[in-house]
Structure 1
Amino acid sequence: MNRKRHSMRHIVAGVFIIVIGFLASTFSVDAKDQHKNEQMTSTKAVKNGFKLEQKQLKQQQLFQRLHSRAMISPTPGLSVLLSDNEKASINQNKGSVQRKGIEFKQQVGLVRDINKEVSFTQFQTAQFNSASQKFAVGMMHRKGGAYTWTATINAIDASAMRIHFAGFSLPDDAKLYIFNNSGQAFGPYSGRGRNNSGQFWSHTVFGDTLHLQIEFGSLSSEKDIQATRFVIAGVGYIGSKFKLLDLWSQCESVASCVVAADNQQGDGVSAAKKAVGHMQYVSGRYIYICSGGLIADVPDSGRNYFLTANHCVSKGGEANSLETYFFFQSCGNGSAPPSVLGASILSTNRSSDYTLLELNGSLPTGTVRLGWDATPVAFNDGEMLYRISHPQGYKQAYSQHNVDTDKGTCRSWPRGDWIYSKDIVGATQGGSSGSPVLNSQGRIVGQLSGACGYDLENECAVDANATVDGAFAAYFSRISQWLAPSGVPDPDPDPEPEPEQMVEVGLSASSEPARRNRWTAIVDVQLTPVVAGALVSGQWSGSAKGSSSCTTNAQGRCSLEKSNIRAEQNAVLSISSVEHPDYGYADSDSITISPPTSN
C-alpha cells in the first residue's frame, strides 16, 4: 500500500488553511462558568483599561509639544540604507531544518546594527554660546534656562522603524521621547529605561524618519547633563509586510481563501475580536509577526496573561521587544490600533508549542480575557473549533475547523499533545501562529502551531493538509498556577527565565602612539562561549575617562578603543556589562593599558 508522506511547518507568521464554503457559524460565551472547578473558566472583561480617545489626544498633545521644541538638523545624525538584497529578504520566508521538520519564520523587518554611543560627558555650559548648536549626532537647544537635545535617524524607504537602546542611563531630571513626522509620539523613557535594565526596544513609529528628543529639566546641572549616555545599538527597519501601518493598499493582499472577520457574528466571535492581538517582535537579526490572545484566570486577578506559540516567542529578549496591537479590524483608517509594549515569560515549552506571557502596562478599554477549557478535544472527531487571527499581518480574519482524527500526523506533533483539524471556513497564513482556537462555548482549547500535510505550499489545500494546534489540555498543568491557583487569588509570577548561560570575557590590550604626544588604548574582547551580536560596554579610568562599547562579530570578538589620551600614565578599562537576550554576565573584568614606549 502506498502511503503519502506528511510534512509540517511552523508559521511564526502563521499556518495556512482553505475555505470550502462560507458558513455564518456562531458560538456563544457563558455568562457564568458551568463548572465551578479549576478545569474551566469563562471570558471576563478587562477592567480599568485606558480609553483610546484619551490616549490619542495625549499623544497628539505630546507630539505638538515635542515638535514645537525640536531644533531638527537638516541632515540626519544617523542614516540606515539597506541593499536591494536586504530589502528583498524582508519579504521572504526564512526556513530552517529542525529535528522535527521544517520551521518557517516570515520576516517583516530586519535589525541593522549601529552601535553608536551617545555621550554628553563633553557638555559644558560655558561653551554653549548660542541658542542652539550641534552636539552628539544631534542639536542642543537652550530656552528659558532648560536644555533640549534632538537627533534624527533615517531608515531610507522603511515603512516603520524602532530603536534598540543599550547602556541607557539618564539623570533624574531628564526624559527621552521618540516621534515621527506624522503625529506619533511615545515616551518618556527615563532612568535606566524600560524594565530598568539599560537595554530595551522603543515603540514602533510609521515612516522612515524618527526623532529622538531629550528634555532636561530646569534643575538639571551641568554635571547632570554630562551623566547622560546611551548606545543606539540598532535600528529596526520594518518593510511593507507590516500592514497595519501606512501602506493601506497592501492590507487586503492575502490568499483568496482568507475570510475577513468583519461580518462574523455571535458572542464568541465578538469576544475573540476583543482579545486577539497582532504581535510584532524582534528575534535575533529579524523582526517577525504572530498572533495571540488574552486569557482569563479563575480569580479574575486583573493580570494581563497572554497566550501564544513557543515558536513565536520563547526568550526573554523576544518578549521584552514584543509590541501587541489590539482591535486591528479595518484597513486604511489612517491611524494605528492601540498597542502594549513589552512582556515577560511565565511559562513556555516546545511540547504543545505554547508560551504564556504577561503583558506590561494597561490594556485598552473594551478588551476581554478569553475563557478556557482544559478538557481534551484532540480525539473528539467532528468537534467544531473557531478562531480569529492575523494572516500575513492582515486585519482580523475568521476561520472555522472540524477536529479530524483521520488526518495523518507529523512525527514530532503527536495527536493528543496537538489537535488536528480540517478547515471548513476561512484560512490562516503567516502571522496567524499563536492565535487561540476556541470551542463552541468560546473557550480556548489550544493555539496555532502550523500545518501538517503534503501540499504545504498551497495555502488553500484543505484535503491535503491539516491545521495543527497545540492542545491546551496537554500543558494546562504547567500553567495552572497562574490561571487556576489553589487558594491564592493573585499569585506572583515566576521571574523571567534567566539567560541560558553566562559568558566569560577575555581581554587583551595594546597601545598606539598618536600625534602631539597623545596615544590610543585598544582592548580586544573575546567572549566564551562564542556569542555574536552581544553588546559589550566598559568604563575607562586612570588617564582615560568616559565609556566605550562594541558589538561582537561571528567569532565573538570586538574591540574597545579610547583615543586622544594625553597623560603618560596607565589607563584602565573595566567591563560594566555584556548585553544579549540569551546570555548573561556577572563578573567584573578589567585590564590596565600602558602608554606606548617611545623609541
Structure 2
Amino acid sequence: MRRSRRFIPFARSVLGVALLLAAATGQARKGEPPYSLAHPAKAGFDVAIVDVAGVDAPRRRIDADRAMRTAGSKRMRSADARPLSITPERDGRWDTLEDGSRLWRVRVRAAGATDLRFAFAHFALPRGATLHVIGAGDDYQGPYTADDATDGRFHAPIVPGDTATIELHVPAGATLDAGALELDGAGAGFRDLYERTRKDGDPGASGACNVNVACPLGDPYANEIRAVGYYEYIAADDGDYYLCSGTLVTDVPHARRNLFLTAAHCLSLAAEAQSMVVYWNYQSTQCNVLGAPAGGFFDDDQHGAVLRATRADVDVTLVELAGSPAADWNLYYAGWDASGTAPAGTIGIHHPSGDVKKITAGPAPHTIDNCIAETAPATHGTHWYAGPYTQGTTEGGSSGSGLFASVGTGGGLARHLVGTLSGGTAACSDTAPGQPNDGFDCYGKLSVAWNGPSPSSRLRDWLDPGDSGVTKADGIGQNDLSQSGNGHSSHALPPVLLQRQRANVAGAAR
C-alpha cells in the first residue's frame, strides 16, 4: 500500500484486533494496483478518450477567490462540474484476458485541469469486480467494489492531472448488468490540490501567517488535531465542487458513531452529504511552513455520508459518515460543550486553502448575530465573534471547522468544541505577511444548534441519543480501550499499528 509522506502520531491505546481486520464501507482504498499498471503488456494501450470542457486553472482560481471574498464565506470552490454519460455498454474498450476475466477502460480528459474527480450515478458491480481511477504519473485510487456505493451512487477521490482512466475488472463468470455502472459527472479542478507544481521548500497554498499543527501552539491539542479533516462535495446551488473543513465529534455514550460537524452554508442537503469525500491526516511533520509535504494526502479518506441535522440561522450541519475509519488512521472523536459558556480563549483547527492542517489562536469570544450573507436571516445571539487572532488565521476551505476552548480556559471547557466557522474578514495581514490581520470570524454556537423544532434541525438527539440532559461530553480516541474521554492510556500498540508507526517515522526521517 502506497503511503503518503507524513507521520501521524498514534495514540497508545487501541481497540481489539477484530477491529483492525474489519473492512468498512466508505473507506479509502489504495490497495492492489489496477490490472493495466500491473500487467501493461497484456492490457493493451488503445483506450478511447472522452473530452469534456477544459479549464483555465489560473484564471478560474482568481475568479472563484473573488466570489468567495464577496460573499464573506470561507467555503472554497475547487473544481467545475462537467456532465457526462459514460457506460460500459456503449463507451470505452473491453478486453478479455487470459484467465477469462474482462477489463473495461475509458479515459476522460478536461484540458488544463490540475486534478479530476468523478461521480457515478449507478454503481452496482458484480461480486469480485473492482474499479480503479488512474491519474497522471500512474497515481491511482482503488480498488472499489459494490460495497462502496452510497444509495446506489459513488463519488471517487481525486487523482492528479487533466486526464484519467476509469478501469473496471470483472472476474471470469461474472456478469455486469446493463445500467449497473454509469459515470455521469467529472470535476475539472483548478487548485492543484496534489501540489504537483509546488517545488520542495516552497510554502503551501495558504498564507504565510498560518501555523502548522506541528508547531508548539498545537502541542496541547494533539487529540483534537486528530479529529479534524476537510472534505470536497458537490454544492446543490451551482453543481460545482467545494472544499470545507469539519470535526469528528463524540456522542454522550462514546459509541464512536462517525458524526461529523460542519457548516450549513457548506452543505445542508442529503445529496450534498452523499457526495462528500473526507480527507484525514493531511498535516506537516514540521513547524516551519516550508516543511509542508508535497502531496499524498489522499490515502486516508472516506466517501459518502447521511445528513442528520442542519440549521441555517446558526449555520451548523451534522452528518454521519458512511462506514468507519480504518483503525490505523487513529482518529479522535472530539469533545464538545453546548452550555453556552464563553471560554477565556479559543483555538481553531482547519485546512485553509486546502493546505496542510493549521491551528489558530484567539481571545475570548463574545456573542453576536450571524455574520455572512449565505446564512439565513439573523437570529439573535446565534454566533461567537472570534478575533482578532493572535496566531494564525482562517481562509477559504476553513468554513465549518471547529472553535475549541483553549487550555487556559477554566470551568472544564478546555479542549471542548463550542462552535463551527461561518466566515468573516480574518486573513493574513497585507502589510505584515507573517502576522494575522485585525479582522474577525464568526462561529455558529453549539449551544444554539443544540435545540430546534425537530431532530433534523437540532444536535441534541444525535449527540445525546439517550436524552440524558447533559450538555457536555469529553472526547475519546478511535482506538482507546477505555470508554473514558480525554485520557492518555499507556497501552502498547499491537504489531499491526506498531509496524505502520515505525514505517511512518522512517518516511518522515527521509
Do both share a fold (TM > 0.5)? yes
Residue in structure 2 matched with residue 465 of structure 1 by the alignment: 439
Residue in structure 2 matched with residue 216 of structure 1 by the alignment: 170
Structure richer in helix, relative to its length: 2
Mark the CA change 1:265 to 1:355 in structure 2 (over 3 Å): closer, same or farther. same
CA-to-partner distance for each residue in 1:234-288, whole Å, 9 max, x for gaps? 111122352x553444752432322222213566421122111021222243211
The CA distance in 1 between the partners of 2:367 and 2:247, in whole Å, is 29
Mark the CA change 1:346 to 1:439 in structure 2 (over 3 Å): closer, same or farther. same
Residue in structure 2 matched with residue 281 of structure 1 by the alignment: 233
RMSD: 3.8
Residue in structure 2 matched with residue 125 of structure 1 by the alignment: none
Mark the CA change 1:50 to 1:318 in structure 2 (over 3 Å): closer, same or farther. farther
Q: Which of 36, 39, 64 is residue 93 of structure 1 equivalent to?
A: 64
Q: Does 1:187 align with 2:158?
A: no
Structure 2 contact 232–243 (Cα < 8 Å) conserved: yes
Q: Which of 207, 214, 220 is residue 262 of structure 1 equivalent to?
A: 214
How far apart are residue 226 of structure 1 and its match?
Answer: 6.0
Aligned-partner SS, 2:234: strand
Residue in structure 2 matched with residue 37 of structure 1 by the alignment: none
Residue in structure 1 matched with residue 133 of structure 2 by the alignment: 178
CA-to-partner distance for each residue in 1:109-157, whole Å, 9 max, x for gaps? 111112234426xxxxxxxxxxxxxxx3224233222222222223333
Q: Does 1:298 align with 2:252?
A: yes
Structure richer in strand, relative to its length: 1
Q: Which of 76, 82, 92 is residue 106 of structure 1 equivalent to?
A: 76
The CA distance in 2 between the partners of 1:343 and 1:464, in whole Å, is 37
Mark the CA change 1:457 to 1:481 in structure 2 (over 3 Å): closer, same or farther. farther
Q: Which of 236, 248, 254 is residue 187 of structure 2 equivalent to?
A: 236
Structure 1 contact 311–350 (Cα < 8 Å) conserved: yes
Residue in structure 2 matched with residue 204 of structure 1 by the alignment: 158
CA-to-partner distance for each residue in 1:282-323, whole Å, 9 max, x for gaps? 224321111111101111112111111111111222211211
The CA distance in 1 between the partners of 2:82 and 2:176, in whole Å, is 28
How far apart are residue 67 of structure 1 and its match?
Answer: 3.6
TM-score by length of 1: 0.61
Mark the CA change 1:245 to 1:463 in structure 2 (over 3 Å): closer, same or farther. closer
Mark the CA change 1:334 to 1:466 in structure 2 (over 3 Å): closer, same or farther. closer
Q: Does 1:475 align with 2:449?
A: yes
Structure 2 contact 369–381 (Cα < 8 Å) conserved: no
Q: Which of 359, 378, 383 is residue 418 of structure 1 equivalent to?
A: 383
Aligned-partner SS, 1:143: coil
Gaps of 5+ in 1: 1-42, 121-135, 489-599
Q: Does 1:82 align with 2:54?
A: yes
How far apart are residue 430 of structure 1 and its match?
Answer: 0.8
Q: Which of 443, 458, 468 is residue 416 of structure 2 equivalent to?
A: 443
Identity, % of aligned pairs?
Answer: 24
Q: After TM superposition, list the pairs within 5 Å mapping 1:456-535 onto structure 2.
A: 465-477=439-451, 478-486=458-466
Q: Does 1:397 align with 2:358?
A: yes
The CA distance in 2 between the partners of 1:431 and 1:315, in whole Å, is 19
Q: Which of 429, 454, 462 is residue 395 of structure 2 equivalent to?
A: 429
Residue in structure 1 matched with residue 39 of structure 2 by the alignment: 68
The CA distance in 2 between the partners of 1:46 and 1:475, in whole Å, is 32
The CA distance in 2 between the partners of 1:288 and 1:437, in whole Å, is 21
Residue in structure 2 matched with residue 370 of structure 1 by the alignment: 334
Structure 2 contact 33–143 (Cα < 8 Å) conserved: no
Structure 1 contact 160–208 (Cα < 8 Å) conserved: yes
The CA distance in 2 between the partners of 1:405 and 1:420, in whole Å, is 5
How far apart are residue 171 of structure 1 and its match?
Answer: 4.2
Q: Does 1:162 align with 2:117?
A: yes
For 1:428, give the aligned amino acid: T
Structure 1 contact 50–362 (Cα < 8 Å) conserved: no
The CA distance in 2 between the partners of 1:358 and 1:148, in whole Å, is 35
Structure 2 contact 234–276 (Cα < 8 Å) conserved: yes
Mark the CA change 1:175 to 1:485 in structure 2 (over 3 Å): closer, same or farther. same
The CA distance in 2 between the partners of 1:233 and 1:300, in whole Å, is 39
For 1:61, give the aligned amino acid: E
Q: Which of 335, 339, 344 is residue 306 of structure 2 equivalent to?
A: 344
Structure 1 contact 159–206 (Cα < 8 Å) conserved: yes
Q: After TM superposition, list the pairs within 5 Å mapping 1:11-30 onto structure 2.
A: none
Structure 2 contact 392–436 (Cα < 8 Å) conserved: no
